[in-house]
Amino acid sequence: MRLKTFIFLVTILITTAVSAQLKSPEEFLGYKIGSQFTPHWKIVNYFNHVAANASSMMKLQQYGVTNEGRPLLLAFISSGDNINNLEQIRMNNLRLANIAKDKAAPKEENIPDIVWLSYNVHGNETSSSEAALMTIWALVDPSNTKTKNWLQNTVVIMDPCVNPDGRDRYVNWFNSVVGKNANPQLIAREHNEPWPGGRTNHYNFDLNRDWAWQTQIESRQRIKVYNEWMPQVHVDFHEQFINNPYYFAPAAQPFHEVITPWQRDFQTMIGKNHAKYFDANSWLYFTKEVFDLFYPSYGDTWPTYNGAIGMTYEQAGHSMGGSTAIKADGDTLTLFDRANHHFTTSLSTIEVSSVNNGKLVKEFRKYFNEAVSSGVGEYKSYVIRNNKKDKERIESFLDLLSKNGIQYGLGTGSGKGYSFNSGKEESFSFNNDIVISALQPRSAMVKVLFEPKSKLVDSVTYDITAWALPYAYGLEGFASREKINGSGTINKVTAENAETSYGYVIPWDGVQTAKTVGQLLQKGILLRYAESPFEVNGNKFESGAVIILKTGNNSFGNNLMPLIKKIANANNTQLFPVQTGFVDKGADFGSPKVHAFKAPRVYLLTGEGVNSNAAGEIWHFFEQQIDFPITLVNLDVIGRIKWNEVDVLIMPDGNYRFLSDKAKAEPLKNWVSKGGRLIALENAVSVLAKAEFGIKMKKGEEEDKKDDKNEKVSYEILKKFEDRERDYIPNVTPGSIYKVEMDNTHPLAYGYPNYYYTLKMDDNVYEFIKDGWNVGVIKKDNQIAGFVGSKLKEKLHDGLIFGVQQMGGGSVTYLTDNIMFRNFWENGKLMLCNAVFFVGQ
């Protein structure tokens, strides 16, 4: 009895001591959560405080840094026993998913489930990081016995701020404009943030659309750790427009067909639990609307396709919420309200996961066992041609597979399957080509990323409807219902470059080649490109091959060739030595068909009126992929540009209102006519069309002529009110793939075959250019995959997609679709390089 009393007293003393050291967010920060925004560094400090004072329950890991140098953190919270055995729990979970390297049998009963909570992926959706502070406290608070019970069989992983750069951009701006007292009127400046806003990361990328593609440093670092844990549940916390009630699972249709009955049932189960708490507080919410589970690169779909229950929660607020805001219904929404709602669903998620621990683990194991035994979907294998000419695209493609944990190998043999190029079932043979089997742990992800045509049960969807990797990467491939074996590892080929005294030739094969060429140009080296194919020394080179000669570079003396070799080796670019300018076939190096070019001075328009995501795609590409200098200029100072210092001007997607004023547009036109090279993308092209630059928008099919005397009644104007959200569907495509016929003899299409797969995301198609080059066009029946409205389908044919027009001494390049889409549409990147380095030279 005395011993029990002693143990009880010791426990009380320890709890009291911990409580005295461990502080709540309010005690630590000095203000109540929701009364003001918490900057990222204070969030980091509080999580460090908890880690230092509740180490028996929590471990903190810095898994990376952002572009601007802010730390990225993960907190692991569970019972003391689970924290002490965290590595064993992690390894056992990988065994459950059949991806552990040791291949040992997993323990399947009486083990913790893993719940991963991701907060603040969109920087200006700020309430969730505040909710993260409330949640971590509820989990470690010594007086909270309810959460301690949940943590006996659950490990919670918390990322308190996925996008610190975006969050601080928004919070710092808000704090700089808010008055002594926050103003709830939405017209007040604190509710209207300036371009580019805090939603995105440093490079204006939406990190919530980057899970599969991992183009951004934050995504790559986070998902590397995610793949080391593979949680059973993942939640992505968001905010939506100010007047909307709270949204939580179950999600809206369309659901992708790979989503299992269990994954759907659990969403409903967790939604009902959330509803219980929201109903008790008289908080409004909605489910099964707007937010679907289809596009594979969201924070709900990507985890779902990797075996988890992936969910998005959406709180009203967004960037307009400020710290207090009056909604359309007259009610006032505060930052505390928003954080409290997210806090409630955070705990509810952990609760439901804990209560259903056994079922979660059992179904998780079943999911991955079925993946390796039978695979997901009708196609059991995918074969990608390992063509030498596609080496650079293939390297990028394999890198994407590796980042997603998808297994692949090499195979030789024959088979039958769907050809991505012809769109038909064909017999094919393959020799040392890439094989991706559907019978592997990531089987669902393989199907989702490779299937030629995804099945839509509802055409009202939140994002693009087609993304098959062979199209996005411009690779030849087949989808087969046969089980085809691939084995071994694919080793990256290392360039072996020999010395030469005369010159080198570089095949124009891809983005890495463009990076090498860009770095050579920056060193002041004069380069040449061939406008037609040629053969020399037994090697065949296609149009666009870059020629580097001693001639014209005499100022480098004996340092020229070693410098070229050094840069090429650093980029793993193969150089082909030549000893003469006399070629075996084609134009000699002194021919007028061989053109010299130097480093262009490139400007990119940004700022209000420009699509920040589109500008970010180009900015990131120049800085992080080809490492070539680019000057960003805001539209409001375009009048101050010294045009004689600009060679190439890039206009990303935007509205460019200044072009509607002829006087303001005149300097741009004069610059082009004097030799400037203008590159317009997406809606920038339609703006140029309206400004009479020479390109014209194609109109839709003409309506049937009406007889004035016998005018027919049109029943199309009779619509049902309940269908108002679907009335637009026949006239749109949310993102579909079209085959574009390319003139690859033109510099804009160097490095491409005579076709290109474009991602069509609007209803714009243009008339053929009469005085210019129609480099890429779509004809009839060119749709490959994805949803296209019935009326729009009638319009999208016989039109220009890519073209070049001469204007005086300069040129305008029209890229009417987004060839850089989210920087995962790999096959479009070389076209931008062509436009920058070759077109108009």
Three-class HEC string of 645-689: HCCEEEECCECCHHHHCHHHHHHHHHHHHCCCEEEEECHHHHHHH
The confidence score (pLDDT) of residue 472 equals 98
Between 207-216, 614-623, 718-727, the lowest mean confidence (pLDDT) is in 718-727
The confidence score (pLDDT) of residue 330 equals 96
| pLDDT above 50: residue 723 | yes
Tens of pLDDT, residue by residue over 615-662, are 999 999 999 999 999 999 999 999 999 999 999 999 999 999 999 998
The confidence score (pLDDT) of residue 464 equals 95
Q: What is the mean pLDDT of the chain?
A: 94
Mean pLDDT for the stretch of residues 784-798: 92
User: Token pair of 470, please?
Assistant: 């062979």
The confidence score (pLDDT) of residue 710 equals 52
Round to whole Å and give the CA distance between 236 and 794: 39
Tens of pLDDT, residue by residue over 333-388, are 999 999 999 999 999 999 999 999 999 999 999 999 999 999 999 999 999 999 99
Tens of pLDDT, residue by residue over 12-69, are 444 444 455 999 999 999 999 999 999 999 999 999 999 999 999 999 999 999 999 9
**Alpha helix (H) ranges present in 603-661?**
612-620
Tens of pLDDT, residue by residue over 576-602, are 999 999 999 999 999 999 999 999 999
The fraction of the chain above a pLDDT of 90, given in percent, is 89
Task: Say how many CA atoms lie within 13 Å of 564 toward its Cβ.
Answer: 29
Mean pLDDT for the stretch of residues 523-543: 97
Tens of pLDDT, residue by residue over 167-197, are 999 999 999 999 999 999 999 999 999 999 9
The confidence score (pLDDT) of residue 705 equals 41
The confidence score (pLDDT) of residue 725 equals 67
SS3 call for 348: helix
| pLDDT above 70: residue 666 | yes
Round to whole Å and give the CA distance between 83 and 156: 11
| pLDDT above 50: residue 773 | yes
The confidence score (pLDDT) of residue 699 equals 80
The confidence score (pLDDT) of residue 715 equals 57
Tens of pLDDT, residue by residue over 563-580, are 999 999 999 999 999 999
| pLDDT above 60: residue 708 | no
CA 602 to chain centroid: 25
The confidence score (pLDDT) of residue 130 equals 98
The confidence score (pLDDT) of residue 742 equals 98
Mean pLDDT for the stretch of residues 429-452: 97
The fraction of the chain above a pLDDT of 70, given in percent, is 95
Round to whole Å and give the CA distance between 40 and 44: 6
The confidence score (pLDDT) of residue 700 equals 67
The confidence score (pLDDT) of residue 711 equals 54
Round to whole Å and give the CA distance between 204 and 615: 8
| pLDDT above 50: residue 706 | no
Residue in 351, 373, 490, 368 with CA at minimum distance from that of residue 433? 490
What confidence category does residue 462 fall into, taking pLDDT thresholds of 50, 70 and 90? confident
CB 63 within 8 A of CB 162: no
Torsion-angle region of 98 (φ positive above 0: left; ψ -120 to 50: alpha; else: beta):
left
The confidence score (pLDDT) of residue 162 equals 98
| pLDDT above 80: residue 506 | yes
Task: Give bridge partners of residue 429 from the DSSP assignment.
Answer: 414
Tens of pLDDT, residue by residue over 384-407, are 999 999 999 999 999 999 999 999
3-state helix, strand, coil in the chain (%, to 5): 35, 20, 40
What confidence category does residue 210 fall into, taking pLDDT thresholds of 50, 70 and 90? very high
Whether this model's pTM surpasses 0.85? yes
The confidence score (pLDDT) of residue 704 equals 38
The confidence score (pLDDT) of residue 460 equals 80
Mean pLDDT for the stretch of residues 102-109: 95
Round to whole Å and give the CA distance between 507 and 388: 11
The confidence score (pLDDT) of residue 461 equals 87
Residue in 691, 620, 695, 697 with CA at minimum distance from that of residue 652? 620
| pLDDT above 60: residue 785 | yes
